[in-house]
């Protein structure tokens, strides 16, 4: 087995762990009759490179700043080589040095976006979507499969991947959609599987999933993320006319979400996520095996606000009292992740409320709104980091979301005193109208991915450098 080498400020001696890792690695590989010396040497070099660099070699680049490490900000230096963190400590050796001002966090991961590419690029595409993500402090996003032509098999997956890969300014993963009978057709490069238990944009709700299909879904060993609304319940409450946010709330009540969460509890799937929970009861009835996701719009917006169709979303915005209760649950650490559910539509699609498409933008404002609340001492920074940065990366098996040895050098820094009102005309999405217009936010000053500045002093300075997450090193190789 391999023992984790924490960092140069941790409790272990890197040299002793380096020796122990090398011995164990060689022992394990010598057991195989097919192993030869050349192969073992090559593997040892590959697996122990970060430790060798951090122990004996100068880093390519050393960042100094007030880094968030082990639950608090600490004035440290972080060495980076080949885009990975190879040393953490004081007075590190490096070929080039950069000082980062202000608090430095790991960059964010948003596991729930709808960039509409391909098929509906008049709403958003991968270029504008990933640029928006970067300005919001995210270096990784995971795009949903409910495209105009849903991503349900290897053919549709490859078509989407080939179209968006060259447009990505940040790293990205892609989901596939389960439609009831295609568990065996899911492309293995999928980052996860999306299941709509209730119908929404470009999707039909599944009332029940066959046991054999559940078994096959679980055998894929991928996260399964559920749109948690019961289709049978939605059918019962369906009404001919919905003219306000309150009407929309009543037409898709909390009861439908509660029923869906109860159903998710029963499914024998190892890693299951109940998306965009909007009911406090859903949080309480969701079992410990269910990863609970919330969105900024469900904890900051409600159906009494004068948002019109720009606040129409599935599941709906709830009452002010429910919103407040959800926010208190978030403050108390009851949610595992917070995702944007960024879902843009054109202005024409939002004109008449009854027929308006459901969805709002949010990938660029998710972290900045949370940072403003931290600056105002309303929100614990550990909640922000856990739900918007570390947990999303962990769930997707990424070497991101932590400032630690062997992780990608993805950072954001910000100025606690730089609280500004959101001006949606300055956002980078193709859709410029945000229900968070006027909210207080702190946008990251710099965003760094794999040791490279992509956003510097609030300006985009690099072209599309994003990689498909399957081309990155996994957290557990």
Average pLDDT over residues 327-343: 98
The answer on pLDDT for 462 being more than 50 is yes
Catalytic residue of the set 143, 341, 410, 424:
341
Q: How far apart, in whole angstroms, are the C-alpha atoms of residue 58 and residue 49?
A: 13
Determine the pLDDT at residue 44.
60
In which band, very low, low, confident or very high, does the pLDDT at 437 lie, cut at 50, 70 and 90?
very high
What b-and-e string marks burial along 149-187, b requiring 16 or more CB atoms within 10 Å of the CB? ebbbbeebbeebbeebbebbbbbbbbbbbbbeebbebbb
In which band, very low, low, confident or very high, does the pLDDT at 405 lie, cut at 50, 70 and 90?
very high
Tell me: the pLDDT tens digits for 203-219?
999 989 999 999 999 99
| CA proximity to 237, closest of 226, 249, 225 | 249
Determine the pLDDT at residue 424.
97
Average pLDDT over residues 299-327: 98
Determine the pLDDT at residue 256.
98
CATH fold of 111-400+421-443+458-471 reads TIM Barrel (3.20.20)
Tell me: the pLDDT tens digits for 237-272?
999 899 999 999 999 999 999 999 999 999 999 999
Mean pLDDT over the full length of the chain: 91
Q: What is the pTM of this model?
A: 0.89
Active-site annotation holds for 125: no
Determine the pLDDT at residue 9.
41
Tell me: the pLDDT tens digits for 116-153?
999 999 999 999 999 999 999 999 999 999 999 999 99
Establish whether the linkage from the previous residue to 103 is cis, with ω within 30° of 0: no
In which band, very low, low, confident or very high, does the pLDDT at 448 lie, cut at 50, 70 and 90?
very high
Determine the pLDDT at residue 45.
53
Determine the pLDDT at residue 57.
75
| CA proximity to 225, closest of 250, 259, 190 | 190
What b-and-e string marks burial along 386-409, b requiring 16 or more CB atoms within 10 Å of the CB? bbbbbbbbbbbbbbbbbbbbbbbb
Determine the pLDDT at residue 411.
98
Q: How far apart, in whole angstroms, are the C-alpha atoms of residue 419 and residue 415?
A: 8
Average pLDDT over residues 383-391: 98
Between residues 20 and 65, the one the model is more confident about: 65
* Percent of the chain residues past pLDDT 70, beyond the cut: 88
Determine the pLDDT at residue 473.
83
- For the ranges 37-46, 98-107, 182-191, 461-470, the lowest mean pLDDT is seen at 37-46
- For the ranges 31-45, 216-230, 358-372, 381-395, the lowest mean pLDDT is seen at 31-45
Q: Which helix (H) or strand (E) holds 80?
A: strand 72-81
In which band, very low, low, confident or very high, does the pLDDT at 34 lie, cut at 50, 70 and 90?
very low
Determine the pLDDT at residue 463.
85
| CA proximity to 256, closest of 345, 210, 196 | 196
Tokens 């380096």 — which residue?
18
Determine the pLDDT at residue 101.
96
Determine the pLDDT at residue 25.
54
In which band, very low, low, confident or very high, does the pLDDT at 54 lie, cut at 50, 70 and 90?
very low
The answer on pLDDT for 23 being more than 70 is no
Residues of the chain with CATH 3.20.20.140: 111-400+421-443+458-471
Q: Dihedral of CA 387/389/391/396: which sign?
A: positive
| DSSP E strands, 145-234 | 171-178, 192-196, 224-227
Determine the pLDDT at residue 31.
47
Average pLDDT over residues 183-211: 95
The answer on pLDDT for 2 being more than 70 is no
In which band, very low, low, confident or very high, does the pLDDT at 28 lie, cut at 50, 70 and 90?
low
The answer on pLDDT for 8 being more than 70 is no
Between residues 3 and 292, the one the model is more confident about: 292
CA distances from 261 to 202, 247, 287 (A): 22, 23, 9
Determine the pLDDT at residue 202.
87
DSSP 193: E
Average pLDDT over residues 380-391: 98
């Amino acid at each position: 087995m391999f023992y984790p080498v924490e960092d140069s400020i941790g409790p272990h001696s890197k040299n002793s762990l380096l020796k122990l890792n090398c011995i164990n690695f060689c022992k394990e590989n010598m057991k195989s009759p097919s192993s030869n010396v050349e192969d073992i040497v090559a593997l040892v070099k590959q697996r122990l490179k970060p430790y060798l660099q951090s122990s004996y070699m100068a880093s390519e680049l050393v960042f100094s700043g007030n880094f968030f490490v082990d639950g608090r900000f600490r004035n440290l230096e972080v060495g980076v080589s080949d885009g990975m963190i190879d040393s953490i400590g004081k007075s590190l050796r490096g070929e080039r040095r950069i000082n980062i001002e202000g608090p430095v966090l790991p960059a964010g991961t948003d596991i729930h976006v709808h960039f509409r590419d391909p098929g509906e690029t008049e709403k958003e595409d991968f270029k504008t979507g990933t640029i928006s993500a970067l300005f919001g402090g995210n270096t990784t996003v995971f795009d949903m499969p409910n495209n105009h032509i849903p991503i349900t098999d290897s053919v549709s997956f490859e078509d989407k991947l080939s179209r968006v890969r060259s447009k990505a300014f940040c790293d990205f993963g892609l989901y596939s959609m389960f439609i009831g009978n295609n568990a065996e057709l899911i492309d293995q490069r999928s980052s996860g599987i999306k299941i709509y238990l209730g119908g929404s944009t470009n999707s039909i709700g599944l009332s029940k999933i066959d046991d054999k299909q559940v078994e096959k879904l679980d055998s894929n060993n991928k996260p399964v993320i559920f749109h948690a609304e019961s289709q049978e319940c939605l059918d019962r409450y369906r009404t001919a006319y919905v003219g306000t946010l309150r009407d929309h709330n009543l037409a898709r009540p909390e009861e439908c979400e509660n029923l869906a969460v109860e159903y998710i509890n029963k499914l024998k799937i190892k890693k299951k996520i109940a998306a965009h929970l909007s009911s406090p009861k859903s949080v309480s009835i969701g079992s410990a095996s269910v990863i609970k996701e919330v969105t900024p719009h469900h904890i900051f917006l409600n159906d009494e606000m004068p948002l019109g169709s720009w606040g129409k979303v599935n599941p709906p915005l709830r009452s002010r009292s429910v919103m407040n209760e959800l926010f208190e649950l978030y403050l108390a650490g009851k949610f595992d992740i917070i995702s944007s559910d960024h879902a843009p539509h054109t202005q024409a699609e939002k004109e008449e409320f009854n027929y308006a498409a459901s969805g709002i933008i949010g990938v660029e404002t998710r972290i900045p709104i949370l940072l403003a609340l931290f600056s105002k001492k309303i929100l614990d920074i550990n909640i922000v980091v856990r739900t918007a940065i570390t947990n999303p990366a962990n769930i997707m098996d990424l070497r991101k979301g932590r400032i630690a040895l062997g992780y990608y050098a993805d950072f954001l820094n910000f100025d606690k005193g730089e609280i500004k009102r959101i001006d949606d005309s300055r956002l980078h999405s193709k859709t410029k109208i945000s229900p968070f217009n006027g909210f207080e936010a702190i946008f990251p000053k710099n965003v760094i991915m794999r040791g490279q500045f992509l956003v510097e002093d609030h300006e985009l300075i690099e072209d599309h450098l994003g990689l498909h997450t399957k081309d990155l090193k996994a957290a557990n190789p």
